[in-house]
Amino acid sequence: MLTLLNLLKDGRFHSGQDLGAALGISRSAVWKQLQHLEAELGLSIHKVRGRGYQLAAPLTLLDSVEISATVPKWPVTVLDSVDSTNAEALRAIGQGASAPFLVLAERQVSGRGRRGRKWVSPFAENLYYSLVLRIDGGMRQLEGLSLVVGLAVMQALRNFGVPSAGLKWPNDILVANKKVAGILLELVGDPADVCHVVLGIGINANMQKADEVDQQWTSIRLESGNSVDRNALVGELSVQLNSYIERHQMKGFSTLRAEWEANHLWQDRSVSLIAGSNHIDGVVVGIDSQGALRLKVDGVEKVFSGGELSLRLRDDS
């Protein structure tokens, strides 16, 4: 099926006879594979009598060889389809894979965001990216790491034509109030000694419609007006991640704190912090040296951290 897709990815018309000859199958078998492509991958294929078959839009698929030439010496695995790149990365760790390494996919059938939310992952449109790092020396090495990843993602987006991309505590990248990227960190191993962390990143690259998304969203393509070369985006994101992670490892999160606050879109805004059924209203003061959120609540500054917290703008903000 993916061999057929590679023949069609240029966005031009191809006759059923030519496709069958290239694949060594009958025209009726080509027709069945085309139906599978539409049903399984959600692709739109134009069918015109006398001209043949054409993808509604050209596709550029992820290329592990091209990507490997641009990432910082990280082994790269590119999958056609997977439950989630984070889940695949965790399985690889369990099987003894040596970190660092990178897992990418053309689509996810069970993509995950924070707090168990579904991450919509259409085929060959966006970036589904999981980088695995080995952490020696305990949990202190992880302080503020998710916020550091956010800085790297934000910078990559700005370099790809989205200058207004900014941060929302703890793990979202927004344009205005629309989500363009999200981050999910997962830890496995002994947090007091040697462990591995999976840096899961989802970026809306070329997506232009998605009925399943239950929040405001945008994409690089919608913001910039240009189609995104996802292979180049992987390279740029990897370069930024490598740079920011090295700075974090050498000097700690405290040296990046001011940069993060300067790019926090909700700095000094009135917000509600949601923890389960509890809502805490306050004004964002900033973050502390470990990346925890600082809120002024009833005139008193308080600090909040934890993976199950969510931040929302208040109506009066």
Q: Catalytic: 247? A: no
Tell whether residue 110 is among the known ligand binding residues. no
Q: What is the mean pLDDT of the chain?
A: 90
Instruction: Tell me which architecture the domain covering 266-313 has in CATH.
Output: Roll (2.30)
The pair of three-digit structure tokens given for residue 143, joined into one six-digit string: 């302080």
Chain centre distance of CA 306: 21
> pLDDT tens digits, residue range 236-258?
999 999 999 999 999 999 999 99
Which of 91, 134, 140, 312 is flagged as catalytic? 312
Pick the closest to residue 125 from 243, 213, 29, 194 (CA basis). 213
Q: Give the residues across from 287 on adjacent strands.
A: 293
Q: What is the pLDDT of residue 113?
A: 55
DSSP E strands, the chain: 45-48, 52-55, 76-79, 101-105, 127-136, 165-168, 172-175, 178-189, 194-203, 270-275, 278-287, 293-297, 300-304, 310-313
Tell whether residue 84 is among the known ligand binding residues. yes
Specify the higher pLDDT residue, 216 or 173.
173
Predicted TM-score of the model (pTM): 0.90
Residue 165 has pLDDT above 60, yes or no: yes
Which of 107, 168, 179, 230 is flagged as catalytic? 179
Instruction: Please tell me the CATH code under which domain 2-55 is placed.
Output: 1.10.10.10
In this structure, are residues 143 and 287 in contact, taking their beta carbons and an 8 Å threshold? no
Tell whether residue 108 is among the known ligand binding residues. yes
What is the average pLDDT across 28-43?
85
225 falls in which pLDDT band (50, 70, 90)?
A: very high
> 64-261, which class in CATH?
alpha beta
Pick the closest to residue 142 from 200, 187, 207, 77 (CA basis). 187
Tell whether residue 86 is among the known ligand binding residues. yes
Burial (0-12, 13-18, 19+ Cβ within 10 Å), 83: middle
DSSP code of residue 97: P
288 falls in which pLDDT band (50, 70, 90)?
A: very high
Specify the higher pLDDT residue, 191 or 66.
66
Q: Catalytic: 221? A: no
Tell whether residue 60 is among the known ligand binding residues. no
- d(CA 313, CA 317) in angstroms, rounded, equals 6
Residue 208 has pLDDT above 80, yes or no: yes
317 falls in which pLDDT band (50, 70, 90)?
A: very low
Report domain extents, the chain: 2-55, 64-261, 266-313
Which of 114, 168, 221, 230 is flagged as catalytic? 114
Pick the closest to residue 263 from 183, 165, 156, 160 (CA basis). 165
The pair of three-digit structure tokens given for residue 14, joined into one six-digit string: 């191809």
Tell whether residue 177 is among the known ligand binding residues. no
Tell whether residue 294 is among the known ligand binding residues. no
Residue 147 has a CB neighbour count (10 Å cut-off) of 26
Q: Catalytic: 296? A: no
Tell whether residue 35 is among the known ligand binding residues. no
